[in-house]
Amino acid sequence: MEPAKPTKISAQNICKTYNPGTAGAVEAINGLSLDVADGEFVSLLGPSGCGKSTFLYMVGGFEKITSGSLTLDGEQITGPGPNRGIVFQEYVLFPWQTVARNIEYGLRINNTPKQQREAKVAELVKLIGLEGFEDVFPSKLSGGMQQRVSIARAMAYDPDVLLMDEPFGALDAQTRNRMLVDLIDIHQKTHKTTMFVTHSVEEAVMISDRVCMFSSRPSKIKEIVTIDMEHPRSVTDARFVEYQKRLLASLADEEHERVQQHQ
Ligand SMILES: Nc1ncnc2c1ncn2[C@@H]1O[C@H](COP(=O)(O)OP(=O)(O)OP(=O)(O)O)[C@@H](O)[C@H]1O
Ligand SMILES: [Mg+2]
């Protein structure tokens, strides 16, 4: 048996209320606990508006927790840091800068020497399969290529943790499938601890070590499903179908709950 990996991210009884004490208070999360091991790939799945992005942004340090404990390597998260890279659903590239410039953006900000920046860009461009596109501007790239650049940019500081909020949501099905295969490949090469928010049960089963199902708002973790399958996984594998069925049923229950609450 492999030795247990150390805990990378630990959320204990987290609560998050937006605008507390005002008429516009929104209780997004109530009593969420989750431990993510070093190198693990975890998906966050749940009904719309349940607090998946909120949780991801708290781990990123962009949103504060209202109560509970949220640690990275045993230290409370108090703000963003270079040990976490984030990829958003929208491609947030600078249109006036080339692929290389976009990727090395964070390294320029912290005055990394040119030689080191160039080496990093070369390494990442290779990792995302965009060699030869270094001097191209984002508008000349497809959506999938732009999202690859976003992933490379999130990895420029060589973060331990990658946080992705529905990164492939805006892509067509075929491009999304290719990106999933590539992301699995990147994860197997880099072993970065990854949190991946998605609406797609199929995406979650295809890519994750574990899938965390959020309950409807105010959310907590309803259940965690370990996907005990080797990569590459096939959607036609009976086990894949079984995981998918189980998670779809669980998600449908929570969606139902959410609709009931709003009636
Ligand atoms: N800045 C904010 N101020 C007030 N309420 C907010 C804010 N951000 C999010 N919310 C509310 O918190 C709840 C959780 O939102 P969040 O975006 O985290 O959900 P989500 O699970 O990512 O949803 P989706 O699947 O639609 O992306 C929602 O009710 C949302 O309206
Ligand atoms: Mg969201």
Tens-digit pLDDT profile for residues 135-149: 999 999 999 999 999
Q: Is the CB of 218 inside a 6 Å radius of any atom of ligand 1?
A: no
| Residue of 15, 45, 53, 195 to mutate, ligand 1, most atoms within 8 A of C-beta | 53
Helix axes 114-127, 173-190, angle to 10 degrees: 120
Q: Is the CB of 148 inside a 6 Å radius of any atom of ligand 1?
A: no
Which residue CA neighbors atom 6 of ligand 1 most closely? 18
Lowest mean pLDDT among 49-53, 108-112, 239-243: 108-112
Say yes or no to pLDDT of 132 above 70. yes
pLDDT recorded at residue 203: 96
| Residue of 50, 216, 221 to mutate, ligand 1, most atoms within 8 A of C-beta | 50
Residues around ion ligand 2, judged by CB within 5 A, are 53
> In percent, how much of the chain has pLDDT > 90?
84
Give the ligand whose atoms come closest to the C-alpha of residue 44: 1
Ranges of each domain in the chain = 1-83+161-172+188-263, 91-158
pLDDT recorded at residue 258: 80
Question: Is the Cβ–Cβ distance between 155 and 185 less than 8 Å?
Answer: no
pTM score of the predicted model: 0.94
Predicted confidence band of residue 91 (pLDDT cuts 50, 70, 90): confident
44 CA from centroid of ligand 2 (Å): 10
The CA distances from residue 195 to 3, 64, 105, 190, 231, in Å, are 22, 18, 23, 14, 18
In the chain, the amino acid numbered 117 is R
Task: Report the CATH superfamily, name and number, of domain 1-83+161-172+188-263.
Answer: P-loop containing nucleotide triphosphate hydrolases (3.40.50.300)
Closest alpha carbon to 47 in 218, 239, 185: 218
Q: Is the CB of 125 inside a 6 Å radius of any atom of ligand 1?
A: no
- HEC letters along 94-112: CCCCCHHHHHCHHHHHCCC
pLDDT tens readout for residues 170-214? 888 888 888 899 999 999 999 999 999 999 999 999 999 999 999
| Residue of 52, 86, 212 to mutate, ligand 1, most atoms within 8 A of C-beta | 52
